[in-house]
Amino acid sequence: MQKILSLFNLFCSFYLIFPQACLSAGDLSSAPLDLQALYKQHSNAVVRVKYRQGDAFQIASGFFVSENGHVLTSVIGGEDFSVETASGQRFLADKIGEDAITSLCLLKANNGNIQVPFFSLMQRDRWPEMGQELLSLSCKFGLNVAPQKGHITGFNHRCFDDEWPMTLIRSTLKMDGGDCGGAVIDTKGELQGMLLHAIEGANESFFMPLCGLCKAFQDLLVFGRVRYCYVGLNTQAVFDNKRNELHLQVLKVNPASPADKAGFKEGDILLKVNGNEVDAVESFKNFMFLSSPNDPCAIEVLRNDKISVLTFYLGERI
């Protein structure tokens, strides 16, 4: 446990988490490869997850994120877990924790002293880009690990009636039965995220980006749940004509909240959070999700044509 925790001593900034991590012999980061080579090198880090839900057994995808057998998947409310690799290795698995809001679940395979190939959760310095080519590895229809090529088509925090706690990445990776929980990698073989939500009636889907997986992994490993930050502000996006910029305006400050104690007022314009510009509701949501309760927070506020900085510690949403 201490070894795993040392890899994820995270520092949260506006969009990204930067874990202190080391590459190991089992790390799957690599030079650019073609489709066939990518599949051969990385397919054994992906697992078919079998679990019981009620009286029936179900199948999902997942992937190893440590040589010690930690598996990230997308199963909520499951019991009696087992995982099977592309090479046919089977392990019983224990559930460490789950989060119904993100649909993420962390398992620990009972792999004994057997080291397994895994995807590194070491954070890169930026998000993937629009149009970037991707490869998913998942157990389509609950069968063998299968590759699928696609590309990025958008970045969204909601779709129709569904809204998520952070920005998800939309792509042309199609999801069918068993794909949920599959790994998404780039042409270098580096992990980019996890398949989560199919778009009904379209050959597209959403995946959780790597920075979100890092945050969820750390929380699930240590606390058995994902911790959500609380500030106590209701906001809306407004266009600042003087500055020709889009910012957030405070509509309401919840009484006795961290924001209330810090001195926020209705009508305040949020300009920056911890030195990073706030240009939309989506960017503030990303900051809140990727941060942790009790993290220090400094928000630059425009009030009556004067700029000030309000500082406080983030609370935890219960």
Q: Mean pLDDT over residues 252-267, rounded?
A: 97
Q: Mean pLDDT over residues 79-106, rounded?
A: 97
pLDDT in tens, 186-219: 999 999 999 999 998 889 999 999 999 999 999 9
Q: Any bridge partners for residue 17, and if so which?
A: 12
Say how far apart CA 317 and CA 227 lie, in whole Å: 8
3-class secondary structure, 177: coil
pLDDT of residue 126: 78
Looking at per-residue pLDDT, the higher value among 5 and 104 belongs to 104
pLDDT of residue 25: 32
Does the pLDDT of residue 265 top 60, yes or no? yes
Encode burial over 5-36: b for 16+ CB neighbours within 10 A, e otherwise. eebbebebebbbbbbebeeeebebeeeebeee
**pTM of the predicted model, to two decimals?**
0.87
Structural contact between residues 195 and 173, judged by C-beta atoms closer than 8 angstroms: yes
Q: Mean pLDDT over residues 92-112, rounded?
A: 97
- Tokens describing residue 243: 């500055």
CA nearest 241: which of 274, 269, 282? Answer: 269
In the chain, which ranges are continuous DSSP H helix? 2-7, 35-42, 210-223, 258-262, 281-290
Q: Any bridge partners for residue 145, and if so which?
A: none
Task: Kindly list the structural domains of the chain, giving each domain's residue range(s) and its CATH number in brackets, ordered by start.
Answer: 133-214 (2.40.10.10), 229-316 (2.30.42.10)
pLDDT in tens, 17-71: 333 233 233 444 444 448 899 999 999 999 999 999 999 999 999 999 999 999 9
Structural contact between residues 42 and 189, judged by C-beta atoms closer than 8 angstroms: yes
Q: Mean pLDDT over residues 63-84, rounded?
A: 97
